[in-house]
Amino acid sequence: MKKIFLFLILLFISFLGFSQSRYVSETTKKIVFARDGGVCKCCGSSTDIEFDHITPFSCGGSSEVSNIQLLCKRCNRSKSNSCTCKIHNRRVGTNCCEKKSSQQAVSSKQCSGTTKKGARCRNQTRNSSGRCHLH
pLDDT digit string, tens, across residues 102-119: 444 446 677 788 877 888
* pLDDT value at 124 more than 60: yes
Sign for the pseudo-dihedral over CA of 39, 45, 50, 52? negative
pLDDT at 74: 94
Q: Is the pLDDT of residue 97 over 90?
A: no
Mean pLDDT (whole number) for 68-77: 94
Rounded average pLDDT over 9-18: 58
**Model pTM score:** 0.57
58 contact partners, CB below 8 Å, separation of at least 6: 81, 97
Q: What is the average pLDDT score of the chain?
A: 79
Higher-confidence residue: 30 or 127?
Answer: 30
Q: Which of 8-17, 70-79, 87-96 has the lowest mean pLDDT?
A: 8-17
Helix (H, G, I), strand (E, B) or coil at 95: coil
- pLDDT surpasses 80 at 8: no
CB 130 within 8 A of CB 111: yes
Residues 49, 40: contact at Cβ < 8 Å? yes
Domains in the chain with CATH codes: 21-94 (1.10.30), 101-135 (no CATH)
